[in-house]
Structure 1
Amino acid sequence: MSNITIVPRSFKEQPAYNLIELDDFSGVIFRPRKELRKQEVYATCHLFVVVLSGEKVVHTPEGDFHIRSGNAFLVRRGLHMFSEIFAEDHQYESLIFFIDDRLLADFFRTNALTISSPAPGVQPKNIFQIPVSPLMRAGIDATLPFFSNKAAVSKELLKVKLTEILLHIAQSKQGTEFLSFVKELQSHHKKDLLPLMEENFARSFSVKHFAELSGRSLTTFKKDFRNTFQQSPQKWINEKRLERARFLLTHTDLNVTDVCFEVGFENLSYFGQLFKKRFGTSPKKITTAQNPQK
């Protein structure tokens, strides 16, 4: 399996990015290293991204989105995407806000925004572009000094600035789309576990990150998971990964190492131990039996 950048976790793990964190959102100025110009990305929070310089192409199941300098886009939590960055002289820069459901719920409630529910059968978009008006750009520019002087940051004031930006979006041409997106979150805060887990068990996520994707606390996730699957999350995940691994070893030419990472394990020795305990034989013996020349 290719390496997946899980955001915002990857920024939290690298202090050089100077991430600013609050209870219900965080933010960062992103200037990528050369090796990060093509990334597979999985978002565990909603993303509001403003391209400050350069260009970005985001490939998603809903299509490809080309975002030029000066424009922005909003991404729903849980979207799996592939990001490509283009910039002259290697100068790409973006402002990223990682937004929790709680902030959007407070925004919706505090501003007394009322809209019609999305039409029956129409799924709200997981990603959409937002042209940046001069007034919205002024609000965005007002947040930038916070990231160059983190020690003096008033986090409460930064939250006010972000709320101002969200109000600009709500009043833009994409306002109805944005407000439908926000309102839909209120009735579908918790994702159904069955499709979530079936679609993602082979990704190298921890139980904690599966809980985040589902919109639950870790304790609630474990409780709901056991009620749904009648076993613990880790046991179910390992079982699904091992079954997938046996299938790949039996029906493809992938070697043991490739299969290990393809199904979501990150440690080859641990994978081998679990596999032998589950099936009574090692992964290597299965590949050898299928193809003695391996």
Structure 2
Amino acid sequence: MLKEQFVPDTVLMYVARGAIQTYDGNQRTIFRAGEYGIAQKNRLVKYELVGSETSFEPVIFCFGESFLQAFKNKHQIEAQQNAFRDAFIRISSSPLINSFMDSIKPYYKGAMELEAEFEDIKYEELLIILLKEKPELADVLFDFRKPGKIDLEKFMVKNFTFNVNIDQFATLTGRSLSAFKRDFKEIFGESPSRWLVKKRLAEAYFLIDKKRRKPNDIYLDLGFESLSHFSVAFKKQFGQTPTQLATDNNS
């Protein structure tokens, strides 16, 4: 099942078992058992399990801004605020980080939870290891800037398939919700919600009609939550269901 998410905080993921494929609009990356990756905050991502859901087991560390601020001040870290293009940064396996993962087992309570008494200690230890292994991560971990105001039209045309709420699109384009809606109406001539549906349906029609894609293979990729919702919206827009269009093309 394809899932989508706005990433509000920096996250480290270790794949203990199974595999997961990620996509950030630029890059597709597969993380397999024994591999590590960092998801940058304030990014849009899609992810899909490779294999069955029961075969996937992640260990996740979510770094809140207040914790990172305190760590930065304590260790007097200077960050250059250089941007990493992709939302996911692969972290090489090493004896140091592998030993750390082994060390948390007595305190491990679930994918995102350690025993409370040890949580801050282990998080700090993990940060020290990450910065030792990959010093340039300081530019990711300690960049506390909010997303700046960017080209809304360019951003939306690129990211319209991400099924996240309007508030998150506003944040990512550096605007308040009211400013986002106002600017959006000026650029596209209609509300964000209506434009998103029409844009996704137009892309769906193209993929089915010209690329011969199957409706059940594309609806999640285009930001629709269910095949039935996609079919109803498609018929309302084009007068036939996506399955009818696909059948007509193959007849």
TM-score relative to the length of structure 1: 0.57
How does 1:8-157 map onto structure 2 within 5 Å?
A: 45-51=9-15, 69=34, 72-77=36-41, 78-80=44-46, 94-101=58-65, 103-118=67-82, 123=84, 126-132=88-94, 134=96, 137-138=99-100, 141-142=103-104, 144-147=106-109, 153-154=115-116, 157=118
Q: Structure 2 CA distance, aligned partners of 1:260 and 1:139?
A: 38
1:168 matched to 2:167? The reply is no
Aligned length: 238
1:240 matched to 2:199? The reply is yes
- Could you say if the C-alpha distance between residues 187 and 275 of structure 1 is closer, same or farther in structure 2, counting changes exceeding 3 Å? same
Q: Structure 2 CA distance, aligned partners of 1:92 and 1:270?
A: 28
Q: 1:158 aligns with which of 107, 119, 127?
A: 119
Q: Deviations over 1:14-39 (max 9, x none)?
A: xxxxxxxxxxxxxxxxxxxxxxxxxx
Q: Structure 2 CA distance, aligned partners of 1:260 and 1:188?
A: 32
| Pairwise CA distance, 1:99 | 3.4
1:211 matched to 2:168? The reply is yes
- Can you give the 5+ residue segments of structure 1 that lack an aligned partner in the other structure? 8-41
- Can you give the 5+ residue segments of structure 2 that lack an aligned partner in the other structure? none
Check whether the contact 2:36–2:93 (CA below 8 A) recurs between aligned residues: yes
Check whether the contact 2:20–2:30 (CA below 8 A) recurs between aligned residues: yes
- Could you say if the C-alpha distance between residues 282 and 46 of structure 1 is closer, same or farther in structure 2, counting changes exceeding 3 Å? same
AA aligned to 2:133 is: K
Supply the RMSD in Å over aligned alpha carbons.
Answer: 4.7
Check whether the contact 2:39–2:89 (CA below 8 A) recurs between aligned residues: yes
Query: Equivalent residue of 1:187, what SS?
Result: coil
Q: Structure 2 CA distance, aligned partners of 1:114 and 1:73?
A: 22
Report percent identity of matched pairs.
Answer: 17
- Could you say if the C-alpha distance between residues 238 and 104 of structure 1 is closer, same or farther in structure 2, counting changes exceeding 3 Å? farther
Check whether the contact 1:136–1:165 (CA below 8 A) recurs between aligned residues: no
| Pairwise CA distance, 1:223 | 2.8
TM-score relative to the length of structure 2: 0.65
Q: 1:222 aligns with which of 157, 177, 184?
A: 177
